[in-house]
Chains A and B, each alone.
Chain A
């Protein structure tokens, strides 16, 4: 990467990084609280992870190893572009292996492999305000957070049960952090919510368009909201991964042909490949090329 000299390390200038780090420190000090920050224009459109990229840029150092995933995959457009961005602007090592990464920027998933002390998970957040669904006024939602008035969150869950017979919210499922702030975990599937609880990794959330940063420090209590008679449950899948045979991982449906054929495979590509490398096999893994024809 020879163009490095054209940019400050990790694209952002040092003043901006310091500003973002101050916001991050405050966010860590008040788990789940949305800290406003002066979000910058980034060389990518809103909705492509401008918040996550700014957070990563502010915390990344030359010795870090970066992994970027989008819906669990390392090889989708968003993940590839952001990984290339930091290779170009920070010249850092990149990896697709969860265990090898020190910083993992993610859109919509938490890796299946348990995160470790010293790792940082950076979430890209489109709408940080969990109360926005029912309360459009920012002044009012801030007041509700300040006064811990979270009845409205349950109104949303009530509506789910009334309409569907169960809590039908499957992603961006609201959580309460350290018994205080109700937080939107970004559009991860609720399947991943339990992974946030008492995680050894630092979890940082960046919303570029909405100009908010929030955080869950390591080993913090994260509880998914629910009703006594409708407790929180994660999704379950009726079959194992078609490629690696994993049970209990989060699966994506992949369409195989135009006759309605499909298979379910792990959304976390690194997890799936790692299992296959270790000899695990699913029912379509013997000859996947043939199945796709």
Chain B
């Protein structure tokens, strides 16, 4: 792990009129670290994620990111061109609904290749070879490369979305309920795949989930949110095995045992 964080978040708040989206969130994320943000619907976790990923302008506070040149930049002072470039090269964003993150009417290969073409790759053969390699890494058969994601199952679509995001070797990936809406068996496969990719590639990730099992499996650290506030943070297994905040205790005790 590097001695400098990748992301520095200070006193980040987002208000919707008088309603709190998230308030006074401060934390740092280091390279290779997976942070889970958990909480129930409406707790502000998706608002926070969107504020971090520059998809939603915060009302107050500051998000700084260490660019590839080593310089920290305030994300909300980047030009739009810089911000968009960052989002399609150094960052990934995995949506809960794969249709939000994929181009449903172009082939799987083009979905994976798009980021490469966006950064200037102009050799069809090489783009296709890279796409093939990535489909393999997310366990999509090579002969599906020219099929459109419309013809894919939910789990395959989600894996394709992951490949599309990781092809430019991003350093930070945001995930919004990456396993939501999938069957349990499909979820397990996806989680294992994500876990492997995150550790093999040394990715930093911020995962929003309401599923504590997902948080336990994927993340090193956890933040528990309620009503827009962070109520507890710590090592994932510490938060889950010895929850301190009343709300975290309620959350943990609400898990159904199989």
Cβ B117 vs Cβ A154 within 8 A: yes
- A227 to B124, Cβ gap below 8 A? yes
**Please, how many angstroms separate the alpha-carbon atoms of A143 and B79 in the complex?**
13
**A191 interface residue per 8 A CB criterion:** no
Residues of A within 8 A of B145 (CB): 162
Q: How far is the CA of A228 from the CA of B120 in the complex (A)?
A: 11
Given A134-B103, A147-B80, A147-B84, answer yes or no on A162-B110 (Cβ-Cβ < 8 Å): yes
Instruction: Provide the residues of chain A in CB contact with B80, threshold 8 Å.
Output: 143, 147
Query: What per-residue 1/0 map shows which CB atoms of A152-192 lie under 8 Å from chain B?
Result: 10110011011100000000000000000000000000000
Q: Are A149 and B124 in contact (CB under 8 A)?
A: no
Q: Is the CB of B84 within 8 A of A155?
A: no
**Any A CB within 8 A of the CB of B245:** no
What 1/0 flags go to A212-247 for Cβ under 8 Å of B?
000000000000001111100000000000000000
Give every chain B residue within 8 A of A159 (Cβ-Cβ): 106-107, 110
Number of A-B contacts (CB under 8 A): 55
Size of A's binding interface in residues, CB under 8 A: 18
Interface pair B146/A162, CB less than 8 Å apart: yes
Q: A134-B106, A154-B117, A155-B117 are in contact. List 12 more A-B contacts (CB 8 A).
A: A134-B105, A143-B80, A151-B118, A152-B114, A152-B118, A155-B103, A158-B117, A158-B124, A159-B110, A161-B124, A163-B146, A228-B122
28 example contacts (A-B, Cβ-Cβ < 8 A) are as follows A143-B80, A147-B81, A149-B118, A151-B115, A151-B119, A152-B117, A152-B118, A154-B117, A154-B122, A155-B103, A155-B106, A158-B110, A158-B113, A158-B127, A159-B106, A162-B107, A162-B109, A162-B110, A163-B107, A163-B146, A227-B122, A227-B123, A227-B124, A228-B122, A228-B123, A229-B123, A229-B124, A229-B125
Q: What residues make up the interface of A, taking CB atoms closer than 8 Å to B?
A: 134, 143, 147, 149, 151-152, 154-155, 158-159, 161-163, 226-230
